[in-house]
């Protein structure tokens, strides 16, 4: 427990002064001499525990003063609570290598099917957003609870050239910032104050890619920005090793194609493409941000990865001032002391 105004804790030095003043008051009281015929009658008339009853209200007063001083120092406590809402950003690589048929019917179709099943499995109040990236990144669907919008967006995903993993992370943070004021967009001209180590916002990024960065910002720089904002990134490497399977992009017409020129495979037809997954970078991204890395080499493995992601309960760490608790305790002790004083020493 920490204190906002810790210097006020020096007021605890008043407690010994209160005790000293109480002792002096008791000693300064003038004795009254009354003659009785028998001391045994006096002893019999005295109630048991009269001494502790005499001083107990003052002890309660000291406890009340101590609690009040604690409240004045404004104690704060860090607690972990279930988040009222949760946000998941699906960040999907739509580069041309996702047309590879090593995972039938091809990587992109398998990824889309797994993403749809993932969306179906989420709670109704969980917001899901979709970011796609190739040569640059874009928010395909801002975070929403409308499952129909998400399904339509997934079904309409197409491919484009190049791979910008770092840009995908930055765009995902930007999507989260649109609905969470505590997260500053990496594109905003405002500095972001890093969260304390181990603190996270109630939002995660699930990044799926089958290749390595060929353009855009360094993924580790983007990961550092996510870490500073408390955004965990769970990375998925999708595809088989030493892939030489043919490509099949014929169903897709890319919305990203115009900025990059003609596709490298004769208008999106079949061809061979080999690109290994940059597992080392994906592992570093996950480790930096508090997420985990997963490798999936089949549709079943990818579905298993999505099912294992910790999305059912999000916790948020909050720093809360608890002065009111100590103030309430002080009030209780004061009232208790007054009640006991009246009961044990009635005025009439």
- pLDDT digit string, tens, across residues 79-108: 665 565 689 999 999 999 999 999 999 999
| Range in 9-13, 58-62, 75-79, 106-110 the model is least confident about | 75-79
Q: Read off the pLDDT of each residue in 34-43 and give the average, rounded to a whole number.
A: 55
For residue 344, pLDDT beyond 60 = yes
- pLDDT digit string, tens, across residues 194-217: 988 888 888 999 999 998 999 999
Q: Is the peptide bond before 105 cis (omega within 30 degrees of 0)?
A: yes
Q: What is the spatial distance between Cα 250 and Cα 99, in angstroms, rounded to a whole number?
A: 9
Q: What is the spatial distance between Cα 177 and Cα 136, in angstroms, rounded to a whole number?
A: 19
> Can you give the pLDDT at residue 282?
97
Q: What is the spatial distance between Cα 34 and Cα 221, in angstroms, rounded to a whole number?
A: 89
> Can you give the pLDDT at residue 78?
73
For residue 144, pLDDT beyond 60 = yes
Region of 118 (left: φ > 0; alpha: ψ -120 to 50; beta: rest) is alpha
Q: Which of 135, 143, 191 is nearest to 159 (CA)?
A: 135
> Can you give the pLDDT at residue 44?
57
| Range in 38-42, 225-229, 236-240, 276-280 the model is least confident about | 38-42
> Can you give the pLDDT at residue 46?
54
Q: Read off the pLDDT of each residue in 48-64 and give the average, rounded to a whole number.
A: 75
> Can you give the pLDDT at residue 255?
40
Q: Read off the pLDDT of each residue in 174-186 and give the average, rounded to a whole number.
A: 94
Q: What is the spatial distance between Cα 318 and Cα 80, in angstroms, rounded to a whole number?
A: 6
> Can you give the pLDDT at residue 198?
83
Residue 107, C-beta contacts closer than 8 angstroms, at least 6 positions apart: 97, 98, 99, 100, 210, 238, 239
Residues in the chain: 348
Pick the more confident residue, 154 or 1. 154
Q: Read off the pLDDT of each residue in 123-131 and give the average, rounded to a whole number.
A: 92
> Can you give the pLDDT at residue 233?
97
For residue 179, pLDDT beyond 80 = yes
For residue 119, pLDDT beyond 90 = yes
**Residue 277: what are its φ and ψ, rounded to 5°?**
-80, 135
Confidence band for 8, pLDDT divided at 50, 70 and 90: confident
- pLDDT digit string, tens, across residues 256-294: 343 333 333 333 344 444 457 999 999 999 999 999 999
CA angle 81, 2, 334 (to 5 degrees): 95
Confidence band for 146, pLDDT divided at 50, 70 and 90: very high
> Can you give the pLDDT at residue 257?
41
Pick the more confident residue, 171 or 79. 171
Q: Read off the pLDDT of each residue in 42-68 and give the average, rounded to a whole number.
A: 73
Confidence band for 41, pLDDT divided at 50, 70 and 90: low
> Can you give the pLDDT at residue 254?
42
Strands 87-93 and 203-209: parallel
Confidence band for 347, pLDDT divided at 50, 70 and 90: low
Confidence band for 245, pLDDT divided at 50, 70 and 90: confident
Q: Which two tokens stand for residue 302?
A: 């990818």
> Can you give the pLDDT at residue 306?
94
Please give the distance of CA 326 from its chain centroid, rounded to a whole number: 27
Q: Which residues of 37-63 are buried (b: 16+ CB within 10 A; e: fewer)?
A: eeeeeeeeeeeeeeeeeeebbbebbbb
**Residue 53: what are its φ and ψ, rounded to 5°?**
-65, -30
> Can you give the pLDDT at residue 251?
57
Q: Read off the pLDDT of each residue in 46-58 and give the average, rounded to a whole number.
A: 67
DSSP string, 278-316: -HHHHHHHHHHHT--EEEE-SHHHHHHHHHHSS-S--EE
């Amino acid at each position: 427990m920490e204190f906002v105004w810790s210097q006020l804790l020096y007021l605890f030095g008043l407690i010994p002064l209160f005790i000293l003043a109480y002792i002096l008051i008791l000693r300064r009281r003038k004795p009254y001499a009354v003659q009785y015929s028998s001391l045994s009658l006096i002893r019999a008339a005295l109630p048991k525990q009269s001494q502790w009853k005499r001083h107990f209200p003052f002890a309660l007063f000291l406890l009340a003063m101590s609690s009040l001083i604690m409240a004045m120092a404004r104690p704060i406590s860090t607690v972990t609570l279930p988040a009222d809402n949760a946000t998941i950003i699906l960040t999907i690589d739509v580069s041309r290598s996702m047309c590879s048929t090593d995972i039938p019917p091809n990587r992109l179709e398998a990824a889309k099917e797994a993403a749809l099943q993932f969306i179906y499995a989420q709670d109704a109040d969980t917001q899901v957003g979709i970011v796609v990236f190739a040569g640059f990144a874009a928010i395909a669907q801002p975070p929403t609870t409308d499952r129909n919008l998400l399904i339509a967006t997934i079904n309409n995903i197409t491919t484009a050239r190049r791979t910008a993993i770092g840009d995908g992370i930055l765009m995902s943070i930007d999507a989260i910032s649109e609905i969470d004021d505590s997260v500053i967009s990496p594109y905003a001209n405002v500095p972001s104050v890093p969260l304390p180590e181990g603190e996270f916002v109630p939002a995660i990024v699930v990044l799926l890619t089958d290749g390595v960065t060929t353009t855009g910002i360094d993924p580790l720089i983007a990961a550092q920005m996510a870490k500073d904002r408390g955004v965990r990134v769970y990375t998925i490497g999708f595809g088989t090793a030493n892939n030489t399977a043919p490509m099949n992009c014929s169903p897709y017409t890319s919305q990203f194609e115009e900025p990059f020129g003609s596709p490298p495979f004769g208008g999106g037809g079949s061809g061979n493409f080999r690109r290994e997954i940059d597992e080392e970078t994906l592992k570093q991204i996950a480790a930096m941000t508090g997420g985990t890395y997963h490798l999936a080499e089949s549709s079943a493995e990818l579905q298993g990865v999505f099912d294992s992601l910790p999305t059912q309960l999000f916790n948020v760490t909050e720093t809360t001032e608890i002065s009111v608790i100590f103030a309430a305790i002080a009030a209780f002790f004061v009232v208790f002391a007054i009640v006991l004083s009246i009961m044990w020493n009635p005025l009439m």
